[in-house]
Amino acid sequence: MSRYAGIDSGSWTTKAVVIDDDGRVLGTAVTRSGADLAVAAGRVYTGALTTAGLAPGDVSAVWATGFGRHTVTFAHGSRTELDCHGRGVAFYVAGPVVVVDIGGQDAKVIRLDASGQRIGHRMNRKCAAGTGSFLDEIALRLGVDTGDLDQLAAQSGEALELSSFCTVFAGTELLALIRTGKQPADLAMAAYRSLVKRVQAMDVFQGTLVATGGVVAYHPRVVALLQKALGSEVIVPPHPQEMGAFGAALAARDGAVSVGPDGGGRGDR
């Protein structure tokens, strides 16, 4: 049986996934991208291979995606983030679906039709308010680890709102609330509500909604708040943080047949 790998070189984290012919995940790894994207890609690929119990020679093809995909020098090809996230979600959830991917530095909405073909998308690159870096900033101001933010918000007893969509202004607003004696748990929950509002503002959400990304993986409260705000179920597929890398691995397996409106064939689409 052949094995394939995908590398998602993001601006915040780099992810790797190794799969078999049937798309079963054999190994995954995640690391901070840092300033040297090539080193991060090599490190995370080694980690995924180790988890899978494989050597580089056991893998038939490696494809890359993400912000730094062209720095993955050992990859045999590359695909865009939109292609790979859509491809990965379509493997698990039948279309039509709307994919919301909330990463460390950007958020995106991807629309797939009934056959899993991408028919549209929206990106949020200009503001960090709807991304993981916003939560990192809030956690820093509250003096807690970002990973503890969800547990802290669970203790909230007072509904507070951060009215600003801008991370800088929201931080200033947060400081003003801290000066008035507001509790950290309530402020953490307010940050989650603010992030969800920013995501809601990106598009009109109808039909089946699937959430992916590192924020979804480590902050389940975001999913719960999004479900409440939209009044419908939000599906979280397996390994949501590694979905882009998983899609890249599927592209390697499938020879990178196009799943979007940007053309067919091999190469960087």
Reported as a single tens digit per residue, the pLDDT across 143-200 is: 899 989 999 999 999 988 887 666 666 777 888 888 889 999 999 999 899 889 888 8
Return the ∠ at Cα 166 (arms to 161 and 170), rounded to 5°: 40
Overall average pLDDT of the 114-118 stretch = 93
- Residue 249 pLDDT more than 80? yes
Number of residues in the chain: 269
Q: What domains, with CATH codes, occur in the chain?
A: 3-84+242-254 (3.30.420.40), 95-236 (3.30.420.40)
CA distance 142 to 22: 45
The answer to whether the beta carbons of residues 44 and 27 sit under 8 Å apart is no
Q: Specify the DSSP class assigned to residue 94.
A: P
Written as six digits, the tokens of 204 are 């009109």
Backbone angles phi, psi at 153, to 5 degrees: -65, -25
Cα separations in angstroms, 131 against 30, 167, 186, 204, 217: 18, 10, 19, 18, 13
CA distance 230 to 216: 16
The answer to whether the beta carbons of residues 222 and 246 sit under 8 Å apart is no
| Residue-level pLDDT at 267 | 46
Overall average pLDDT of the 107-126 stretch = 88
Return the ∠ at Cα 9 (arms to 248 and 29), rounded to 5°: 75
Written as six digits, the tokens of 209 are 């909604």
Reported as a single tens digit per residue, the pLDDT across 30-58 is: 999 999 999 999 999 999 999 999 999 99
User: Does the predicted TM-score (pTM) go above 0.85?
Assistant: yes
List all residues 6 or more positions away from 223 whose beta carbon is below 8 Å from its beta carbon: 211, 216, 234, 236
